[in-house]
């Protein structure tokens, strides 16, 4: 791989797509420098303080569609792509659905917690999540009281958030539930510990005995080798590939402990590993709907355009239309942000692909390339002679388009597309050709991978 | 002749003759050949019974669905959640239904609705995800990549496997429907699928005319969508429902199934899900709404099938990954439990209560004990309804429950 290809791979996996502009930018830093720059995002100023209010418009309340557009706007425009990708990782890991959280602000609050602690200590993250209002409501811990505990949070904490299934007993679930009694909410004021509702009796948890409360449980969990293995494996799979070699996971768990449960250290090690840059990793992962939609739009310069639109006094209608389109498209591809299908999060990899979701990916490509609808600006942009000189042939046009979209098509697919372009009536003029090519590239099999 | 038109035309005619242009997809040629051969030899058509599986995700509180309303322990262990005896819809002097589930009672009285009590499996797993996987793969012992319905579809002769041989409603592919050979399309909405046809479809087929290992899953899914869309477009007639379906997503999914059944798509297994049953807290109202949606959706679906004269061809089977803890928790909800009832609808079934209600005294870690293995229900459905070899599909011999009254004969 050339350095450029390595940087593009890094941006596909640790960023939000390899737009030409971003590849150019990070290429100057070299691979290691690019990894460090992505991780060290705090140095990049970013200000979205007014965004939510502007998306809200005249609505007195924040509603779920506002929250969704708010996050999608950030995904499309951020200069801290690794931070946003980590927010998605945590949203999937501590999967909380707005379907059971009555106030959308609480979903945003949780999302901001994920963002704030994205690459920090896993212990801090677990503590924050255990006190997070949306989580308390989602898994009913706000009603977990001494005497007759509610097991919902404790079970998922063990099964999905830390150790993974098969490493604890039903009794451990019950004891952990007792430890989290009294971790509740005060209306409109957030987390509250209510001693009267807390069972401060002795518990036996994972072989240890004590008058544990929730913090003690988290301390036991975060130190457990199974937790290290579980979280490191999940991070590796998120960035690189499934079924990592045991030696790779072992090296990561060492870093997890040596760094004091520091997620940033583990992520850095993944991104600098040989495994990450191996042929097993490159272009082998199915794009999740976020990558498919946001990655495509970022490559086409929609993010830049949205940032310009934000400077206007009121957000222009086309900007809102793009955000809605992105949200609805992802939703139809089975990834509705803030609405994971269950507390387990989404199934990744080839699970994203079935006949219903492919139908939606094809539909997305159609809309994007349709000059009569949303695609008007995009097709015009791509048809501009400054993008490709007017006298190029079909093959050059297709190559240029693939370059912009960071698409790597097989020779066969390229030939197939060129043949369709040749034989399709009404695609003689440049913009019709561009539109047809854009549609077919995005719908192609290769384009579903990153 | 335009191959596109001829293919569509063929589909309309039910694909019953051999002369098929080379452009026709393989499955269509296979079907036509098989049909013609059968007709030639004077054989009867293959088994045309349909199975509709309904998944209730989250762990339905079976104890508050099918209620031992006279038992003192029921009221003791559920001080706030027990349904008062006066509200229970009695089925006999001991067992009754949650009032929100009352809509199924007429079906029971008509001999078309069965409640199979106390269903579960050894060493119950209380994780939603593992337990759901166990039910879908029919293997409690190890993680398996194929499901019981997919493995059933695998056993069908190739001549019967059309692109719609199995359909999962929705945008998620349940592992239950994965076979070694067969994988089925997911259909979120028939309308969306219909748009995937004509010139657009031809162009996509051309783009996907590639052979590459890495991208194969995408190619398979897309071509499956195109085949399914084409067949749906060709087959879907002017279905008009005789009944009004509730406006819930669940009922809408069932209506799409009815529409496909009306269109004679040759589909043998439909799969659909409805969620929200994980009622850990303040469950009374939520659970009532859930049960009402299920009962109303199913009864509308069944009425529709009756009106179109298809009900005797269809068996509906409903399950959840587990029941819930017998004793309620401190937040007026229930935690994850074990055994629970399954439900079946059909015209040739042993209706009413099957098996015994699990004892409230003899619990296992606070949960109801199962006395019917869910694979015994699957075995009955596979053998007696679908005419399949249950041992091959389930990987073992299970005693069939006596659910199906007129067992299938193998074609």
Q: Which of B168, B188, B219 sits opposite A445 (nearest CB)?
A: B219
A50 versus B100: the higher-pLDDT residue is: B100
Measured CA to CA in angstroms, residue A117 lies from A110, A129, A224 at distances of: 11, 10, 21
Residues A282 and A55 sit within 8 Å (Cβ to Cβ): no
Q: Mind telling me how many Å the CA of A314 is from chain B's nearest CA?
A: 34
Dihedral of CA atoms A88, A129, A35, A270 in degrees, nearest 10, equals -90
The Cα B226–Cα A350 span in angstroms is 19
Burial A332-358 (b: 16+ CB within 10 A, else e): bbbbbbbebbbbbbbeeebbbbbbbbb
- On chain B, the residues whose CB falls within 8 A of the CB of A159 are 127, 129
A392 versus B394: the higher-pLDDT residue is: B394
Measured CA to CA in angstroms, residue A193 lies from A141, A151, A246, B146 at distances of: 11, 17, 41, 46
| The pLDDT value given to residue B40 | 59
Nearest alpha carbon to residue A401 among A420, A415, A414, A416: A414
Q: Where are the domains of chain B?
A: 1-45, 46-394
Model ipTM value: 0.90
| The pLDDT value given to residue B5 | 39
Which tens digit of pLDDT belongs to each residue from B247-259?
A: 999 999 999 999 9
Least confident of A102-106, A240-244, B241-245: B241-245
Nearest alpha carbon to residue B216 among A414, A440, A288, A350: A350
* Owner of token pair 């561009």: A434
- On chain B, the residues whose CB falls within 8 A of the CB of A151 are 280, 329, 335-336
Give yes or no for A196 touching B (CB within 8 A): no
- On chain B, the residues whose CB falls within 8 A of the CB of A147 are 330
Q: Given a cut of 70, is residue B148 above it in pLDDT? A: yes
- On chain B, the residues whose CB falls within 8 A of the CB of A369 are none
The Cα B373–Cα B135 span in angstroms is 11
| The pLDDT value given to residue A279 | 96
Residues B336 and B59 sit within 8 Å (Cβ to Cβ): yes
Nearest alpha carbon to residue B177 among B139, B151, B143, B142: B151
Q: Where would I find the H helices in B15-70? A: 26-41
Q: Could you tell me which chain A residue has the CA closest to the CA of B212?
A: A410
Q: Angle at Cα B277 formed by Cα A172 and Cα B324, nearest 5°?
A: 45
Q: Which of residues 393-422 of A touch B (CB under 8 A)?
A: 410, 412-413, 416-417, 419-420
Which tens digit of pLDDT belongs to each residue from B265-314?
A: 999 999 999 999 999 999 999 999 999 999 999 999 999 999 999 999 99
Q: Where are the domains of chain A?
A: 225-273, 289-448
What is the CATH class of B46-394?
alpha beta
Q: Angle at Cα A169 formed by Cα A164 and Cα A170, nearest 5°?
A: 105
- On chain A, the residues whose CB falls within 8 A of the CB of B206 are 416, 419-420
* Owner of token pair 């450029």: A4
Q: Angle at Cα B160 formed by Cα B159 and Cα B162, nearest 5°?
A: 105
Contacts of B280 (CB under 8 A, 6+ apart): A139, A140, A150, A151, A152, B329, B331, B333, B334, B335
Q: Could you tell me which chain A residue has the CA closest to the CA of B333?
A: A150
- On chain A, the residues whose CB falls within 8 A of the CB of B228 are 355
Give yes or no for A426 touching B (CB within 8 A): no
- The residue among B208, B217, B273, B289 with the most chain A CBs within 10 A of its CB, best to mutate, is B217
Q: Where would I find the H helices in A387-429? A: 394-405, 411-423
Measured CA to CA in angstroms, residue A209 lies from A171, A200, A216, A292 at distances of: 13, 12, 11, 49
Is B222's CB within 8 Å of A445's CB? yes
| The pLDDT value given to residue B42 | 55
Q: Could you tell me which chain A residue has the CA closest to the CA of B274?
A: A341
pLDDT class of A320 with cuts at 50, 70, 90 = very high
DSSP strand pairing (B113-120 vs B372-373): parallel
């Amino acid at each position: 791989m050339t350095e450029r290809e390595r940087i593009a791979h890094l941006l596909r996996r640790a960023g939000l797509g390899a737009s030409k502009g971003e590849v150019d930018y990070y290429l100057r830093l070299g691979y290691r420098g690019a990894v460090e720059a992505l991780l060290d995002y705090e140095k990049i100023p970013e200000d979205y303080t007014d965004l939510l209010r502007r998306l809200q418009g005249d609505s007195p309340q924040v509603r779920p569609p506002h929250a969704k557009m708010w996050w999608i706007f950030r995904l499309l425009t951020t200069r801290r792509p690794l931070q946003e990708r980590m927010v998605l990782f945590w949203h999937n890991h501590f999967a909380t659905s707005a379907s059971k959280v009555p106030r959308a602000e609480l979903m945003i609050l949780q999302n901001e917690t994920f963002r704030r602690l994205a690459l920090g200590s896993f212990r801090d993250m677990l503590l924050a999540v255990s006190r997070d209002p949306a989580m308390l409501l989602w898994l009913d811990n706000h009603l977990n009281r001494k005497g007759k505990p509610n097991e919902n949070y404790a079970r998922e904490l063990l099964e999905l958030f830390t150790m993974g299934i098969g490493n604890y007993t039903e009794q451990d679930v019950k004891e952990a539930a007792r430890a989290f009694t009294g971790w509740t909410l005060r209306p409109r004021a957030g987390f509250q510990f209510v001693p009267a509702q807390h069972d401060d009796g002795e518990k036996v948890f994972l072989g240890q005995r004590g008058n544990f409360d929730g913090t003690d449980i988290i301390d036991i969990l975060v130190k457990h080798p199974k937790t290290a293995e579980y979280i490191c494996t999940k991070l590796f799979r998120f960035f690189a590939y499934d079924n990592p070699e045991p030696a790779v996971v072992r090296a990561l768990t060492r870093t997890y402990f040596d760094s004091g449960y520091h997620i940033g250290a583990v992520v850095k090690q993944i991104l600098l590993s040989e495994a990450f840059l191996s042929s097993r990793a490159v272009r082998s992962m199915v794009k999740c709907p976020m990558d498919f939609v946001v990655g495509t739009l970022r490559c086409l310069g929609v993010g830049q355009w949205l940032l310009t639109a934000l400077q206007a006094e009121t957000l222009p209608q086309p900007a809102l239309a793009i955000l809605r389109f992105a949200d609805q498209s992802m939703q139809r591809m089975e990834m509705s942000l803030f609405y994971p299908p269950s507390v387990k999060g989404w199934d990744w990899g080839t699970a994203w692909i079935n006949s219903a979701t492919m139908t939606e990916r094809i539909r997305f490509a159609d809309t994007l390339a349709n000059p009569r609808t949303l695609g008007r600006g995009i097709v015009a942009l791509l048809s501009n002679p400054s993008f490709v000189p007017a006298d190029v042939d079909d093959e050059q046009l297709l190559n240029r388009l693939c370059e912009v979209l960071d698409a790597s098509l097989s020779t066969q697919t390229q030939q197939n597309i060129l043949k369709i372009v040749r034989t399709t009536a009404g695609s003689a003029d440049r913009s019709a050709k561009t539109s047809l090519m854009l549609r077919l590239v995005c719908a192609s099999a290769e384009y579903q991978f990153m | 002749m335009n191959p596109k038109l001829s293919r569509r035309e063929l589909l309309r005619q039910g694909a019953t003759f051999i002369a098929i242009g080379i452009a026709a997809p393989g499955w269509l040629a296979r079907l036509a050949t098989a049909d013609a051969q059968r007709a030639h030899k004077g054989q009867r058509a293959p088994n045309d019974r349909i199975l509709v599986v309904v998944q209730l995700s989250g762990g339905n509180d079976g104890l508050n669905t099918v209620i031992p309303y006279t038992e003192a322990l029921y009221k003791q262990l559920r001080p706030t959640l027990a349904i008062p005896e006066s509200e229970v819809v009695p089925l006999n002097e001991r067992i009754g239904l949650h009032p929100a589930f009352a809509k199924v009672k007429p079906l029971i009285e008509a001999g078309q609705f069965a409640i199979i009590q106390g269903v579960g499996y050894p060493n119950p797993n209380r994780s939603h995800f593992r337990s759901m996987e166990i039910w879908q793969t029919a293997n409690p012992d190890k993680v398996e990549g194929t499901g019981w319905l997919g493995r059933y579809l695998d056993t069908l002769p190739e001549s019967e496997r059309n692109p719609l041989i199995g359909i999962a409603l929705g945008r998620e592919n349940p592992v239950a429907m994965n076979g070694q050979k067969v994988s089925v399309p997911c259909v979120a909405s028939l309308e969306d699928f219909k748009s995937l046809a004509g010139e657009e479809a031809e162009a996509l087929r051309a783009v996907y005319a590639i052979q590459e290992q890495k991208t194969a899953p995408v190619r398979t899914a897309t071509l499956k969508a195109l085949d399914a869309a084409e067949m749906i477009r060709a087959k879907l007639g002017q279905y008009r429902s005789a009944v009004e379906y509730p406006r819930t997503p669940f009922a809408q999914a069932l209506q799409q199934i009815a529409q496909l059944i009306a269109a004679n798509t040759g589909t043998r297994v439909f799969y659909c899900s409805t969620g929200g049953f994980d009622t850990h807290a303040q469950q009374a109202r939520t659970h009532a709404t859930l049960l009402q949606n299920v009962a109303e959706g199913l009864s509308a679906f069944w009425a529709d099938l009756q009106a179109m004269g298809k009900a005797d061809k269809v068996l509906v089977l409903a399950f959840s990954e587990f029941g819930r803890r017998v004793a309620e928790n401190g937040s007026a909800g229930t935690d994850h439990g074990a055994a629970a009832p399954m439900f079946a609808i059909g015209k040739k079934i042993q209706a009413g209560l099957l098996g015994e209600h699990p004892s409230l005294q003899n619990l296992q870690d606070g949960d109801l004990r199962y006395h019917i293995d869910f694979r015994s229900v699957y075995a009955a459905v596979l053998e007696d309804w679908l005419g399949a070899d249950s041992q091959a599909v389930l990987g073992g011999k299970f005693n069939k429950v006596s659910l199906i009254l007129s067992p299938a004969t193998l074609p």
